[in-house]
Amino acid sequence: MSDKKKIIFNYIKANNFRVIHVDGGIGGFTPTGDIFLSLYSQRQPIPQVTVQEVREDNTLGDELISERVGRAGLVREVEVGVAMRLEVAEEIAKWLNERISELKLLKSEGVQQR
């Protein structure tokens, strides 16, 4: 057995753990000097109101597009915000850069990703 000191980390998902799609991020600094990053996904806006015809047999007909109410532009839905110390941000940046290098290498070798 090795004489090296070691520690075991157990990863347990929090009750609100979820996987999100990220299209970008926005952020800055907190008043206490941490880095704050909000991650968002972007999409076309979902209509706030739609109106459909009702046929004589009381089934739904076509949507009346001219009566649709919705937002203009695109939606950036902010999914999560994270605050972290500088040291944590540096470790995450290092980890991301390593994964980016690995993925570029795999793609250059023509390896298919799942």
* pTM of this structure: 0.74
Helices (H), 1-114: 86-108
Average pLDDT over residues 64-71: 95
Nearest to 75 by CA among 35, 47, 100, 114: 47
Q: How confident is the model at residue 2 (pLDDT cuts 50, 70, 90)?
A: confident
Provide the token pair at 92.
């995450």
Q: Give the three-state DSSP class for 77.
A: strand
Q: Please state, rounded to an integer, the average pLDDT across all residues of the chain.
A: 94
Q: What backbone torsions phi and psi does residue 16 show, to the nearest 5 degrees?
A: -100, 20
Residue 113 has a pLDDT of 63
